[in-house]
Amino acid sequence: MFSDFAFGIFQKSIDTYHIKDDVYQEFTNPYPKDKIEHLLYRKNWIDTVQWHYEDIIRDPEIDPVDALDLKRKIDASNQDRTDLVEYIDSYFLNKYQSVQPKETATINTESPAWAIDRLSILALKIYHMQEEVNRTDASPEHIQKCADKLAILLEQKKDLSAAIDQLLADIETGNKYMKVYKQMKMYNDEELNPVLRGQKG
């Protein structure tokens, strides 16, 4: 199933990141550029680094200059994340381009890649909640609460994975069709963000 395939790549990305556990470490993609694995690994790496950006920026003692620099990095990361989702959807559009949708075919509330985006974030939640469960310096109450949350996350993984695989199967058989909307984010565009537009010229 594609969901298991993708989740395994996400886990590899997360595990590799945490060897150094450093947001400034060098990124190396182990998969060829023409493979979907390459996109999935890159997608999760972006999510993983941003996860830790979000931890760092919440430090109440952070230097304001450092916080602003980090905010810029988070903005850039969000744009990269959106770009990767669109690349992944392009892969599915190409893969299923010869499928003729049935007359009764319906559209899904989200594209396959945006569902896979949620699976990537869920992989990070599971990893870090498991870390909390494994802590030896936390109270039994904390560990139990985290174990309960982990069980819910794992149930969510099962449900989301099944939904992704069902969506792909429905697209492949013509029961659903893909229609992708570019996200058209406005805040990074000099023509659409009024603050940036005001600085031109």
Task: Give the pLDDT confidence score for residue 195 in this predicted structure.
Answer: 52
Residue 194, pLDDT score: 57
Tell me the CA distances in angstroms from 144 to 126, 127, 129, 131, 149, one per residue in order: 15, 16, 11, 13, 9
Question: What is d(CA 174, CA 193) in angstroms, rounded to the nearest whole number?
Answer: 39
Domain ranges of the chain: 2-198
Could you report the per-residue pLDDT of 79-104, keeping only the tens digit for each? 899 999 999 999 999 999 999 999 99
Amino acid at 165: D
Segments in the chain below pLDDT 50: none
Summarised one tens digit per residue, pLDDT across range 21-42 is 999 999 999 999 999 999 999 9
The pTM score is 0.88
Q: In this predicted structure, what is the pLDDT of residue 180? A: 79
